């Protein structure tokens, strides 16, 4: 297998993503866990760039790193308990570990048996973003899901404000 720059970039981004995920799950200090989540999200944005979906990479940084991570970090800082660091793993962690391991084995088996060595079928057309924009506004496209998602976001906005008020 040849080591091209794309391979190196993929390795770095994958290490960010998986390492950040490990940090989220295993860190006792919650704010550190949130920072590891930011690292993981950056790695995933890098993976999107490698997958030739720059629009999604920019949206990932804008929405996840710029907004959701900030929300999570503020919530952690507001709901901090002053009385020492309690246990971060609950009593059923062996069951959780077994379930996770089984899921990983199953997924790995399916992936390696079905898609091992699959290469891209074709090239990405250059005007993907324009076509996506047109698709979001056409009847035969995705206009209805777009409007429904807007209503969902509106409901979430109002709901969050109402629930979090005094």
Pick the binder of another protein from 12, 131, 137, 147 (CB under 8 A).
131
Q: Is 3 left (phi over 0), alpha (psi -120 to 50) or beta?
A: beta
Interface with another protein, residue 147, by CB under 8 A: no
- CB of 105: closest distance to another protein in angstroms? 9
Measured CA to CA, the distance from residue 36 to residue 7 in angstroms comes to 23
**Contacting residue, 3, 12, 70, 140, with another protein by CB under 8 A:** 70
Q: Binding of another protein at residue 137 (CB under 8 A)?
A: no
Distance CA 123, CA 52 (A): 10
Q: How far is CA 135 from CA 52, 62, 154, in A?
A: 19, 22, 22
166 lines the binding site for another protein (CB under 8 A): yes
Q: Which of 68, 138, 143, 147 binds another protein (CB under 8 A)?
A: 68
Nearer CB in complex with another protein: 84/115: 115
Q: Is 39 in the site for another protein (CB under 8 A)?
A: no
Does residue 12 belong to the site contacting another protein (CB under 8 A)?
Answer: no
Instruction: Determine if 143 is a binding residue for another protein (CB under 8 A).
Output: no
* Distance between CA atoms of residues 42 and 33, nearest Å: 14
Q: What is the phi/psi pair of residue 84, to 5°?
A: 60, 170
| Angle formed by the axes of helices 30-50 and 69-78, nearest 10° | 180
84, 123, 139, 140: residue in contact with another protein (rule CB under 8 A): 123
* Interatomic CA distance for residues 156 and 91, integer angstroms: 33
- Answer for which of 3, 125, 139, 140 binds another protein (CB under 8 A) is 125
Residue count, binding to another protein (CB under 8 A)? 104
């Amino acid at each position: 297998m040849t080591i091209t720059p794309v391979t190196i970039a993929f390795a770095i981004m994958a290490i960010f993503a998986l390492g950040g995920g490990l940090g989220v799950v295993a860190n006792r200090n919650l704010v550190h866990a949130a920072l590891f989540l930011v690292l993981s999200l950056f790695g995933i944005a890098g993976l999107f760039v490698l997958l030739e979906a720059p629009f999604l990479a920019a949206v990932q940084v804008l929405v996840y790193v710029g907004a959701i991570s900030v929300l999570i970090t503020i919530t952690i800082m507001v709901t901090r308990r002053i009385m020492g660091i309690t246990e971060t793993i609950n009593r059923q962690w062996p069951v959780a570990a077994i379930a996770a391991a089984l899921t990983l084995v199953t997924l790995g088996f399916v992936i390696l048996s079905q898609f091992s060595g699959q290469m891209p079928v074709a090239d990405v057309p250059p005007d993907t973003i324009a076509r996506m924009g047109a698709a979001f506004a056409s009847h035969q496209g995705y206009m209805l899901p777009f409007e429904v998602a807007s209503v969902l976001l509106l409901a979430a906005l109002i709901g969050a404000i109402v629930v979090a008020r005094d």
